[in-house]
Structure 1
Amino acid sequence: MSEAVTRPATIRTGLLPSLEPLLREWLPRQRWFAGKGRPVTGLSLVAETELVPPTGRLSLHHLLVRAHQPSTLGAPTHPGDCYQLLIGAREALPPHLAPALIGHVQEGPLAGRTVYDALYDTRPAELLLEALRNRARVGVLRFDGEPGREIRSGLVPRLVTSEQSNSSVVYGDTFILKLLRRVVPGVNPDLELPLALAREGCARVPEPTAWIRAEVDGAAPEPYVLGVLQPFVQGAADGWELALSELAKGEDFTAEARALGRATAEVHTALAAALPTVTLGHAQLEPLVAGMRERLDAAAQAVPALRPYAPGLRTAFDALAGLAAEGQTWTAQRIHGDLHLGQCLRSPSGRWSLIDFEGEPAKPLAERRMPQPTVRDVAGMLRSFDYAAHSVNPPAPDWAHACRSAYCAGYAEAGGRDPRTDPVLLRAYETDKAVYEVVYEARHRPDWLPVPLSAVHRLASPDLS
């Protein structure tokens, strides 16, 4: 098995041109494709690695391709997002692989074969694990890992079908491999932060066992991080699903919210110890607040329902700017960056873990790696409780309020500082998050728009008690 993934890679001339008509139709239909609503006008090859040659029943090709799309009105010219694709090719596709179908190739090196998303197939998934186990090098691909960490062979893979912005494969009940779909060169926080936390001794985040990178000479100054293998938390409950289940049964969730607050604070404490922190004063807060105001102005233009609340919401940002002008400072550090209930797992023993440290994938990598106030993560979780409470009929605002209070109390127990003791900073970040949610729901889920608008109504009031 290892022979297939450790031999030198072969470049098949004409492979991408022969696949392009199929990929231009297939890519926009994928949940992880970022450029929804705009056609793919062309594809360019960043890197191609042949993992299994097309001489037998199955061939396997790893591609990094850049998808070119027309820019939105007023947006700067964009070179196109780079996507990681694992393309399988067979003479005929078995029925169980029908959901993975990309199409039938008419010309080129795979002419006459059917191509598909190979992550649905057990054999290609096994090859990836074997390459990680052997620390293989194939073409531009580098399969690396923590020294001394054993990866057993023979683990049966299965694709996790509920992923959104990426794809994951579970091996037995031992490991989970998260493959990043939209990739950029540079240090990815989804690998960087869990490694830093593991070396700090923080057990709230599964420690990376191995990872995949691509070193593309001439195409990027730094390697692309393509995937991370971590221990699989068997029997774990997703925080969002767990909250909805308890809500549906009318059960109290405050004990879990308090425990989740403690877990968040422990992760923040470990990150502050592992990586540098900075002080935010007036000079640093000024552009931060300016960004919040600009997002509010753009959102009010895009969503008319937000406009009556805009003056009240702006006072949240003005109040923060006022404190900075008076000389108040805050500490910024590395944070999760996209924290909500769906980024948390509770093990059968009741212990909470945090996952998915990639940050908001739509933001530039440099921005996702910037130190920020920890309250940004807190605000994301508080908004998540609010969303859960509004997902039931009738909504349960008292449930959300109780969970928000319990979460902050738990955070204070483990972190030494209750986020509510800095209400101006917390209100500014929660307002910024709610404004983002208004735009997102108006564009993608109009039926959900009342959820962030209810928060907007509360946050626009000067009396938040």
Structure 2
Amino acid sequence: MKEIEELLAAWLPRQRWFAGKAAPVEAVRIERDLPVGGGDPGAHGPGLRLLVVRVDQPRGTDRYLVVLGLAEPGRLRPGLEHCAIGRCRVRGARRTAYDALHDPELTGRLLHLIARGADRGPVRFRTRPGHAVRTGLRSLVLTGEQSNTSLVFGEDYVLKAFRRLWPGLNPDLELNGALEGSPYAAPPHGWIEADIEDGGRPVPTTVAMLQGYLRSATDGWVLAATSVRDLYAAPGTGPADAGGDFAAEAERLGAATAAVHRALARALPTDVLSPSCLRGLADAMARRLDEATGQVPELAPYAGVLRSAFDDFARAPDPLPVQRVHGDYHLGQVVRTDAGWVLLDFEGEPAVPVAERRRPSSPLRDVAGMLRSFDYAARHQLIGSAEEDLLAPAARAWADRNREAFCAGYAAGGGTDPDKHLTALRAFEYDKAVYEVLYEAHHRPTWLRVPLDSIAALAHA
């Protein structure tokens, strides 16, 4: 395995879903090598293996899923050259290793194994009861995914491979399963799980999930961005009068979000935070603020206002109900179909351990995430534009209109009325904006003005 580990040490940092691009790789070790079929000397066709790869970096240790194809030298099929990892020796035979998720022949095997509910030692392929899976479909990797890799089979299924692995049940599978029957979610048809060592014991861990493909779906971010472009193309026109007014969709999205929250509260445990837990949550927000202020000096002028909001949150007299929520909610996590809005990607924040993502939280955290997304949708097209100052008032008006519409739809749909819980909502929104400041400072410095301007506007509201 040493040759493959050396190849992976060079290949992994170049992948979009690799989380440690900013830090050097100190060591790469294959913790689990799980053969799914083929690849041995004398075997016909390429082999397929699931690798659990441990990567040590100064920032810490992560595990990644690599779906490995092994082809005989010179026998890599045309069109797969871009996903080659390199040549190595496997059981005495030379092989070309490559990312098998781009190979329809090998991904077809995965679909077939899911349909059969097969076991391959510590790898288990499962179908959800009542969901028969069709086979014989060709796959195509979807573009745009960052933290995972998704591929569509014909027009029937999407298989999401969870690249960064945390031991245990993935919340995306858990929550989508809990939403069985909801028109606002896409229930899983099947999944793949493998045993991963955690604390010296094997833990069943979700490595991939199969869902139905939403043929008529349009990304929420794309729809919102189109609305903003229509507004900017008609200077002097208010967002209510522009050709692509988004407010009605924002209101429907709020109602859909409330319906999903209510369904999750019925299906999974709920709780109420004690005053000490509420104080601990506010303290965590304050610590993130301290970290961000230390790294991004531009945030310092607003630190007092932010800290005051977190202190007010800690002293809130009303109890804070908590439940399972989406956890990483924004316009890129929802799609509009012919039947209405559908919520996707219940995985939560991929950089956070699964145990933490599965903790109950306030539904207002999701509301705050979507409100921040409206601000981003309104402002991102102005970055670097010569007309930024001229169009900034229109951007704020668009964001305000759609934020209000979303909150109205959320309250009408049976969710906690955001207008009656402004202290908590403000704290969650500020906390999200602080996270965005850190992210933009490290990854997209030219976008830093978006969360900073939002914090300034909220501070003066």
Report if TM-score (shorter chain) is over 0.5: yes
Q: In 1, distance between residues paired with 2:355 and 2:347? A: 12
Q: In 2, distance between residues paired with 1:125 and 1:234? A: 20
| C-alpha distance after superposition, 1:165-187 (max 9, x if no partner) | 00111111111111100111112
Q: Which residue of 2 aligns with 1:97?
A: 80
| Offset at residue 217 of structure 1 (A) | 6.7
**Which consecutive unaligned segments of at least 5 residues does structure 2 have?**
232-243, 383-390
Superposed CA RMSD:
1.6
Which one of 251, 257, 277 corresponds to residue 264 of structure 1?
A: 257
The answer to whether the 8 Å contact 1:47/1:140 transfers is no
* 1:123-162 superposed matches below 5 A: 123-162=105-144
Which one of 360, 365, 383 corresponds to residue 372 of structure 2?
A: 383
Q: In 2, distance between residues paired with 1:257 and 1:111? A: 57
| Offset at residue 328 of structure 1 (A) | 2.2
| C-alpha distance after superposition, 1:146-168 (max 9, x if no partner) | 22311112122111122110011
Q: In 2, distance between residues paired with 1:208 and 1:110? A: 40
Q: Which residue of 1 aligns with 2:58?
A: 70
Q: Which residue of 2 aligns with 1:315?
A: 308
* 1:353-372 superposed matches below 5 A: 353-372=342-361
The answer to whether the 8 Å contact 2:261/2:363 transfers is yes
Q: Does 1:48 align with 2:19?
A: no
Amino acid in structure 2 at the alignment position of 1:381: M
Q: In 1, distance between residues paired with 2:352 and 2:92? A: 36
Q: Which residue of 2 aligns with 1:7?
A: none
Q: In 2, distance between residues paired with 1:346 and 1:220? A: 42
| C-alpha distance after superposition, 1:127-164 (max 9, x if no partner) | 11000011111121100122231111212211112211
Q: Which residue of 1 aligns with 2:2?
A: 17
Using the TM superposition, name which of 287-296 and 215-224 deviates more.
215-224
| Offset at residue 214 of structure 1 (A) | 0.5
Q: In 2, distance between residues paired with 1:343 and 1:220? A: 34
Q: In 2, distance between residues paired with 1:303 and 1:43? A: 32
Q: In 2, distance between residues paired with 1:285 and 1:439? A: 24
* 1:266-281 superposed matches below 5 A: 266-281=259-274
Q: In 2, distance between residues paired with 1:264 and 1:66? A: 37
Which one of 199, 224, 227 corresponds to residue 246 of structure 1?
A: 227
Q: In 2, distance between residues paired with 1:102 and 1:423? A: 51
| Offset at residue 309 of structure 1 (A) | 1.1
Which one of 33, 37, 41 corresponds to residue 22 of structure 2?
A: 37
Q: Which residue of 2 aligns with 1:5?
A: none
The answer to whether the 8 Å contact 1:313/1:459 transfers is no
Q: In 2, distance between residues paired with 1:383 and 1:217? A: 37
| C-alpha distance after superposition, 1:177-201 (max 9, x if no partner) | 1110011111221111111111xx3
Which one of 293, 301, 314 corresponds to residue 300 of structure 1?
A: 293
Q: Does 1:352 align with 2:341?
A: yes
**Which consecutive unaligned segments of at least 5 residues does structure 1 have?**
1-15, 72-77
Amino acid in structure 1 at the alignment position of 2:142: V
Q: Which residue of 2 aligns with 1:197?
A: 179
| C-alpha distance after superposition, 1:79-135 (max 9, x if no partner) | x21111111122233441122121222x44375432111111111110110000111
The answer to whether the 8 Å contact 1:281/1:328 transfers is no
Q: In 1, distance between residues paired with 2:191 and 2:90? A: 32
Q: In 2, distance between residues paired with 1:217 and 1:101? A: 28
Q: Which residue of 1 aligns with 2:388?
A: none
Q: Does 1:328 align with 2:318?
A: yes
Q: In 2, distance between residues paired with 1:58 and 1:310? A: 57
Match of 2:50, SS state, is strand
Q: Which residue of 1 aligns with 2:387?
A: none
Match of 1:397, SS state, is helix
Q: Does 1:213 align with 2:193?
A: yes
Match of 2:206, SS state, is strand
| C-alpha distance after superposition, 1:394-449 (max 9, x if no partner) | 44111111110000011011115421211111110000000000010000000100
| C-alpha distance after superposition, 1:44-95 (max 9, x if no partner) | 2221122233233412221111111123xxxxxx4x2111111112223344
* 1:107-118 superposed matches below 5 A: 107-109=89-91, 112-118=94-100
Q: In 1, distance between residues paired with 2:339 and 2:297? A: 44
| Offset at residue 281 of structure 1 (A) | 3.0
Match of 1:222, SS state, is strand
The answer to whether the 8 Å contact 2:17/2:148 transfers is yes
The answer to whether the 8 Å contact 1:159/1:170 transfers is yes
| Offset at residue 459 of structure 1 (A) | 2.7
Give the TM-score normalised by structure 2: 0.91
| Offset at residue 216 of structure 1 (A) | 4.3
The answer to whether the 8 Å contact 1:39/1:69 transfers is yes
Match of 1:151, SS state, is coil
Q: In 1, distance between residues paired with 2:411 and 2:129? A: 36
The answer to whether the 8 Å contact 2:218/2:335 transfers is yes
The answer to whether the 8 Å contact 1:204/1:353 transfers is yes
| Offset at residue 235 of structure 1 (A) | 2.1
The answer to whether the 8 Å contact 1:175/1:231 transfers is yes
Match of 2:130, SS state, is coil
The answer to whether the 8 Å contact 1:209/1:229 transfers is yes
The answer to whether the 8 Å contact 1:125/1:169 transfers is no
Match of 1:249, SS state, is helix
Give the TM-score normalised by structure 1: 0.90
Indicate how the Cα distance of structure 1 residues 369 and 17 shifts in structure 2: closer, same or farther if over 3 A, else same: same
Q: Which residue of 1 aligns with 2:238?
A: none
Q: Does 1:27 align with 2:15?
A: no
Which one of 331, 336, 347 corresponds to residue 341 of structure 1?
A: 331
Match of 1:439, SS state, is helix
Q: In 2, distance between residues paired with 1:397 and 1:124? A: 49
Identity %: 47
Amino acid in structure 2 at the alignment position of 1:231: G
Equivalent pairs, count: 433
The answer to whether the 8 Å contact 2:418/2:425 transfers is yes
